[in-house]
Amino acid sequence: MRDGVPTSPFRREEFAMDPYAEDALKKIGAMGFKRFLASNQPDVAYDHLTYAEWKWMHRHVEKLSFDDMFVCMHGREDECECKKPKPGLLLDAAEKWNVDLSRSFMIGDTEADTKAARAAGVKSILIDAPYNQGVKSDYRVKSFMGAANLISALERGDMI
C-alpha cells in the first residue's frame, strides 16, 4: 500500500511473501492445473526501483511452483497489449500452454486482475483486502490458500 493505493513493493524491506503461497500452488497443481504468474511490473519503467532490485525480489517468486511466468514490464505510456486489465498475459499463457481459459481461474487482488480475467473468459477469484471492497469478481476469498480450497471444492462439484 502506498498513499492508500495498493502497489508492488519498491524496496526489499517492503517485500513480504504469503507463507502459504507455495502450499496453495502445490494444492492447485495436484488438481491438474497449470499455474501461471501474470504480473504487471511497471515500477522499473517508472524508475521506482532498479531492475537489479526488482530481480532480487523476483528471485523469491521464481522459487515458487509456477509452471510459467508472464510479466508485463511496460508503463502506462507504452500502451502495450499485455498490461492488466488487458488480457494479453492470460491469452499468451493459454496459447503457449494450450490451456482452456473457460476452465481456468485467475486469482488476484485488484480490479486489473478481475478485469483481465473477464476479458480473457477466465473465472476470477479475488483475495479479500481493504483496498478491493468495491471490486467485482466471480468469487471472493480470504487468502491464497482460500482460493486453492475454493477451486478444489468447485472441481469436486461441491458448490457452483
What does the binding site for Zn ion look like in residue numbers (CB under 5 A)?
Answer: 72, 74, 80, 82-83
Beta carbon of residue 72, minimum distance to Zn ion (angstroms, whole number) = 3
- For the chain, how long is the longest CA-to-CA vector? 47
Nearer to Zn ion among residue 83 and residue 123 (C-beta): 83
Nearer to Zn ion among residue 87 and residue 146 (C-beta): 87
Inter-CA distances, 72 with 2, 23, 45, 125, Å = 21, 25, 10, 21
Grid cell 498513499 in the structure block, residue: 3
Inter-CA distances, 19 with 39, 68, 133, 144, Å = 19, 20, 23, 10
Nearer to Zn ion among residue 82 and residue 150 (C-beta): 82
- One-letter amino acid identity for 128? D
Nearer to Zn ion among residue 82 and residue 141 (C-beta): 82
3 state DSSP class of 99: coil
Beta carbon of residue 86, minimum distance to Zn ion (angstroms, whole number) = 8
Beta carbon of residue 118, minimum distance to Zn ion (angstroms, whole number) = 18
Beta carbon of residue 39, minimum distance to Zn ion (angstroms, whole number) = 10
